[in-house]
Structure 1
Amino acid sequence: MCTGKCSRCIAITLYPLVLLSIVCNIILFFPGWNVKYVREQHITPEVAYLGGLIGGGFLVLIPALYIHLTGEGRCCGNRFGMFLSIIVAAVGELGAAYSFIVAILGLTNGPLCKDDEDKWTRPFLKSNSTYLMHSASWDACTEPKRVVQFNMGLFFTLIAASSLQGTLCAIQIINGLVGCLCGMCSKKEEILQET
């Protein structure tokens, strides 16, 4: 496969993953689909770290845009452009890693919720993630309703999205290296098609 076409495929695949990461991070601010918890600052620090918004969002979006332009041949579509795509893909790799780590921490530490004594606490903070397998323990959170499932679903989605983003950025690093060393074949293909 041509390095330019590979770059375009990677970029086009990164766009929905970026959108998914941003949306998941924004939704995490509204447990129980209610804005009052944000206003009262009853959200976990892992949500406030903005792993999906900054890491899996903007730090991956910038490389996706550059990689797409490189694949189109409009942004230094040559060996130097492919070399720069290695650098921006590495930035995307860092963003994906940040999103992944924050999501893992969010899952491990559990949600902030009101307990039976009407106190805001993190009941699963020292459980070493064992609470994930024991749904009976989720009743320790009385408010927001179903907050454990809410956080689990969104953090698992962020883990999956950031894993895919990291894999795609790693592929682009290899693709960029091949394009840098061997050159892009998109111009050669255009010449062959014209004749």
Structure 2
Amino acid sequence: MCVSRCLQCIGVSLVPMAIICMLSNVLLLLPDWKIHFLLEGHVTREATWATGLWGSGFLVLLGARSFVQSSRTRGCCAFRSQMFCQVLYSLLGLLASCTCSLVSATGLSQGPLCLYNSSSGLTWGVPLQPQPDRHSGYLYNQSLWSGVCVEPCSVVQWNLVLFGVMGATSALQAVICGFSVLNSLLGLILGQGFCHNKVRTLLYLGVEKCSDRIVRTTRPTTLRHHPPPEGETSFRLRQPAWIFMRNQLRNSQINSTGQYYYPKDGAILLPGLAQKL
């Protein structure tokens, strides 16, 4: 089924992205691979919020696990209730990933917390944040990347790469979760039969079953699962419709005019039916 397969693909694709966001956030807490900056509180504020851990990490993984499990749900009522839960999980993942993306963009634009030379000597602060009276930011001025911060070493490049990766990955998560919301709503509204091909309905012109014969008719016929009331043209099969009609064609032959017919009783099948099956 389309909805379940999409949910399974979404769940599988969200897992590596969540791991990337979690690793990026952990590395942001360890500039220059040293933990004492974190213990002393000398880490960029947006990194300490840990949105990559609990937002695009844990909450998205929670939704991904639910997406994969829901793809195995069977039954109409169970499927619809599961789809309702998936809508909630998708909205939660969308909110969490959007939050992480916005925080990453903010940390990227404001610059890192570092030790720099000020008028009063070495001090901890955010010297690269945009200020109208000095500069508009450091992103487009690479001369500020290595000439301002003293410690941690290469902290500007560290934050630039990790915040960029985390922001881009969480933005992609937001797009996927948004698609998951629409997919789950389709499953909730249309039910388990949406794009379901296990028992397919064949609409074709010219074939219906009367007793045990296949005869010509002039209106479309729908193949179903049990015999209809007397006088109706549709009928139901115990096996998938395409298997039944394929077996019927195998037992037929072609006459001199190109029509399919049964040698036993002479009942005729239309030529176009073979192309449909």
User: Is the shorter-chain TM-score for this pair beyond 0.5, marking a shared fold?
Assistant: yes
Instruction: Give me the whole-angstrom Cα distance separating, in 2, the residues matched to 1:102 and 1:48.
Output: 11
Q: Indicate the larger mover: 122-131 or 90-99.
A: 122-131
Instruction: Give me the whole-angstrom Cα distance separating, in 1, the residues matched to 2:166 and 2:78.
Output: 32
Q: SS at 1:115's partner residue?
A: strand
Q: SS at 1:43's partner residue?
A: coil
- Aligned Cα root-mean-square deviation (Å): 2.4
**Shift of residue 18 of structure 1?**
0.7
Conservation of the 8 A alpha-carbon contact between 1:8 and 1:72: no
Q: Indicate the larger mover: 80-89 or 10-19.
A: 80-89
Q: Indicate the larger mover: 37-46 or 72-81.
A: 72-81
Seq. identity, %: 32
Instruction: Give me the whole-angstrom Cα distance separating, in 2, the residues matched to 1:77 and 1:171.
Output: 22
1:114-165: CA deviations, max 9, x gaps?
Answer: 1133211110123486211111012101111110110010000111111111
1:146-188: CA deviations, max 9, x gaps?
Answer: 1011001000011111111101110110000111111235994
Aligned position for 2:87 = 86
TM-score (normalizing by structure 1): 0.91
Aligned position for 1:134 = 141
Report the count of equivalent residues: 195
Aligned position for 1:105 = 106
1:11-42: CA deviations, max 9, x gaps?
Answer: 00000011111111111111111112112210
Instruction: Give me the whole-angstrom Cα distance separating, in 1, the residues matched to 2:156 and 2:86.
Output: 39
Conservation of the 8 A alpha-carbon contact between 1:30 and 1:38: yes
Aligned position for 1:184 = 192
Instruction: Give me the whole-angstrom Cα distance separating, in 2, the residues matched to 1:74 and 1:20.
Output: 33
Aligned position for 1:115 = 116
Q: Per residue, is there more helix in 1 or in 2?
A: 1
**Shift of residue 109 of structure 1?**
1.4
Instruction: Give me the whole-angstrom Cα distance separating, in 2, the residues matched to 1:42 and 1:126.
Output: 20
Consecutive unaligned residues of structure 1, counting only runs of 5 or more, are none
Counterpart selection for 1:125 from 112, 122, 129: 129
Select the structure with the greater relative contact order (CA < 8 A; seq sep ≥ 6).
1
Instruction: Give me the whole-angstrom Cα distance separating, in 2, the residues matched to 1:14 and 1:74.
Output: 23
Q: Indicate the larger mover: 179-188 or 5-14.
A: 179-188
Q: SS at 2:139's partner residue?
A: helix
**Amino acid paired to 1:148:** V
Aligned position for 1:60 = 60
TM-score (normalizing by structure 2): 0.65
**Shift of residue 189 of structure 1?**
4.1
Conservation of the 8 A alpha-carbon contact between 2:91 and 2:177: yes
1:72-129: CA deviations, max 9, x gaps?
Answer: 3279861221121111100001100110111111112110111133211110123486
Counterpart selection for 1:160 from 155, 168, 178: 168
